[in-house]
A and B are shown apart, each in its own frame.
Chain A
Amino acid sequence: MERRVAFESSFAIAEAVKMADIDVCAAYPITPQTHIVERVAQLVANGELDANYIPVESEHSALSACLGSSAAGGRTFTATAGQGLELMHEVVYVASGMRLPIVMSVCNRALSVPLSIWGDHSDVMSVRDTGWIQIFAENAQQAFDLTLCAFHIAEDPAVLLPTMIHIDGFHLSHVIEPVLLPEQEKVTRFLPKYHHPFALDVNNPAAMGDFALPDLYTEAKVAHDMALRNSIKVILQVWQKFGEEFGREYSPVETYGAEDADILLLTMGSFSEVAMEAIDRLKRAGEKVGLVRLRLWRPFPFEQFRQTVGRAKLLIVLDRALSVGGPGPVCSEVQAALYHLKERPQVIGFIGGLGGRDISVEGFQNMIHRGMDKASQGKPGEIEVFDVREK
């Protein structure tokens, strides 16, 4: 029987990891990720999950050990946040370059300095170009569902790429919500036992991580790029299969009240749920607004994105990371994706929600109005940081 339980999002993820029956988890604690790996350690110790939990001495070691375990053919999971992801950085590239289907939860956290344990998307943007599949969850149920799907997507022989599930630190990682937990049997049917077709094997030796001269490096990189771009087909299939089995639908670009909207707001992650309330209120006041939630960040879902927003008049983009001295990272990608369309919305970018600062429902209403004003005045500007004290 499916069960409805109250779970902290972190525990929901650990539950998905348990049901996925992983083989290895190597992890290092860091706020706000710690509850996930503590829970995994507990499930292993209780005998509920037959896996190896390695309490390594740093995140660099954590992802390195995961890399080894995945290369040897084990279903492998880890989790981190902020500074931990930064310390993993060189290994993040290597894991995807070696095509190792590791699944990692990232509890999005701001980066030092100033030191902050609270959430934003600075860490996400620092690994934007690392060649992992990257998916955002907005609530505990999604964190559970998308973690399960992540193993399925990552391990598909046509994909074989590591996958990150992003959840907002604290705003999502630490909230307790009702979560529907499916039966193990159903999960096992959905997610069959993992078999890496090129796992390290003494009988069929493989060489991984080799040297490439300039005559080969480009081709190797392009192969990786093609694999990541093509993974969208498998992502769509897996989410469809998940929807059929479990009744919850996911797609690369999701909307809320966007059907008849001229003005769209774009968000990623848990802030979308607050933005929904703002959209409801503005709609009740007769405004033609809607919300676009970018669920799939890598590979960037160009086609779905253009279809969803192409006809709008104005697209307001919230970035929760500051590309110091540059454009908002999501905003600039969105602009690039729309540039070649004959008819396209005007794009206005905001940066906000940095280092754990909340954006309230009223805040989103104000942001949308401010975006509309800027558009009507024809003054889009480069960036605008929302809700910043100047004194």
Chain B
Amino acid sequence: MSIDLKQYLRPGVTLPFCAGCGDRILLRLILRAIDELKINIDDMLFVSGIGCAAWIPSPNFNADTLHTLHGRAIAFATGAKVFNPKLKTVVISGDGDLADIGGNHLIHAARRNIDLTVLCANNMNYGMTGGQVCSTTPKGVRTPTTPGGNPYHPFDLCKLVNAAGATYVARYSVTQPSVLVESIKKALQIEGFSFIDIISPCPTQYGRQHRLGTPRETLKFFENRCIMKEDAKGLSEEELEEKIVTGEFSDGGN
């Protein structure tokens, strides 16, 4: 981590992530967005649930951090935000946390369009508990709780949150760092509910179980799958099946 980002880390912390974890990259990119916007981190509150992704802000960010219960981050954040609207309140948590066990809070907060920034680190499984199936796991994928292949279709989180009424909705991958930083900056500035579905590969669980190879190869695998929505336009449904379409799906009116 470069010197200038170190100032945002709580002194004495060691980052807990596995080798090649997308969450470590994401941690940097979030701090870069904050740094570029020159937001005073002391005016920010980071709320997370339970899971690997929930460790991105807590206890690492040298700011107010609230490490809550599995699934409840958005509800906690809602309370903090309405009492102190000056707090720039950012929820950082996993896909399972935000969309499975906490899915109800996600759609209702989006419906109320409350001024929160929700960064969903989507590794397509429950990384922390060993890579079990999640509402974002692609169909057919084998996990410890779907050893015969996931029989269900995954959520398209962007469609879900968009339909619920969020102001800003986007999907980017940590393998697209510069567009992702720009998107996080936008999400932090926009008033209303902003949500980014961030593809954050998990080499230890997802990568290993899928034999995607080394952490580097796992990241490459996702890098190759992600395409910008503009480039997806001409592709057939079959061609799109293997792709993860990234971009803004609701741009908050700008």
Contacts and interface: CB of A to CB of B under 8 A. Distances in A.
A193 B222 CA distance: 48
B135 A57 contact: yes
29 contacts: A27-B145, A29-B126, A29-B129, A29-B130, A29-B132, A29-B145, A30-B129, A31-B129, A34-B132, A34-B144, A37-B145, A38-B130, A38-B144, A41-B144, A41-B145, A42-B144, A42-B147, A45-B147, A45-B148, A46-B147, A53-B145, A55-B132, A57-B103, A58-B100, A58-B101, A83-B50, A87-B70, A87-B101, A115-B67
A83 B70 contact: yes
Interface in A31-58: 31, 34, 37-38, 41-42, 45-46, 53, 55, 57-58
Nearest to B100: A57
B146 interface: yes
Given A58-B101, A83-B69, 12 more contacts: A28-B101, A30-B129, A31-B129, A34-B130, A34-B132, A37-B145, A42-B147, A45-B146, A55-B145, A57-B135, A112-B69, A115-B67
Contacts of B103: 57
Contacts of B128: 31
Contacts of B147: 41-42, 45-46
A57 B101 contact: yes
A34 B127 CA distance: 12
Contacts of B71: 58
B77 interface: no
* Most chain B CB within a 10 A radius of its CB, from A27, A31, A55, A115: A55
Which 9 A-B residue pairs are closest in the complex by CB-CB distance?
Answer: A45-B147, A45-B148, A57-B100, A58-B101, A29-B129, A38-B144, A55-B145, A41-B145, A29-B132
Given A57-B101, A57-B103, A38 B67 contact: no
Contacts of B133: 55
Interface in B98-143: 100-101, 103, 126, 128-130, 132-133, 135
A47 B135 CA distance: 24
Interface in B40-56: 50
Interface in B50-65: 50
Contacts of B69: 83, 112
A310 B115 CA distance: 63
A334 B130 CA distance: 40
Nearest to A41: B145
A55 B150 CA distance: 10
Contacts of B100: 57-58
Interface of A: 27-31, 34, 37-38, 41-42, 45-46, 53, 55, 57-58, 83, 87, 112, 115
B148 A34 contact: no
A379 B126 CA distance: 50
A34 B130 CA distance: 8
A53 B101 CA distance: 18
Main secondary structure of the interface of B (DSSP, over half): loop
Contacts of A27: 145
A37 B126 CA distance: 14
A29 B135 CA distance: 13
Interface in B148-188: 148
Contacts of B135: 57
B93 to A, nearest CB: 14
B52 to A, nearest CB: 12
A41 to B, nearest CB: 5
Nearest to A46: B147
Nearest to B101: A58
Contact of A41 (B67, B70, B129, B146): B146
A30 to B, nearest CB: 7
Most buried by B among A27, A28, A30, A83: A28
> Which of B70, B103, B130, B135 has the largest number of chain A CB atoms within 10 A?
B70
A87 B100 CA distance: 14
A34 B129 contact: yes
Contacts of B148: 45
Contacts of B144: 34, 38, 41-42
B145 A38 contact: yes
A31 B131 CA distance: 12
A389 B93 CA distance: 34
Nearest to A47: B148
A34 B128 CA distance: 11
A239 B133 CA distance: 38
Interface string B235-252: 000000000000000000
A45 B129 CA distance: 20
A37 B71 CA distance: 20
B170 to A, nearest CB: 24
A212 B20 CA distance: 57
Contacts of A34: 129-130, 132, 144
Contacts of B130: 29, 34, 38
A94 B126 CA distance: 28
Contacts of A41: 144-147
A55 B129 contact: no
Listed residue (B50, B101, B130) with the most chain A CB atoms within 10 angstroms of its CB: B101
Contacts of A87: 70, 101
Contacts of A37: 145
Nearest to B146: A55
B107 to A, nearest CB: 13
Nearest to A33: B129
Nearest to B130: A34
A304 to B, nearest CB: 39
Contacts of A53: 145
Contact of A38 (B50, B70, B101, B132): B132
A38 B143 CA distance: 9
Contacts of A28: 101
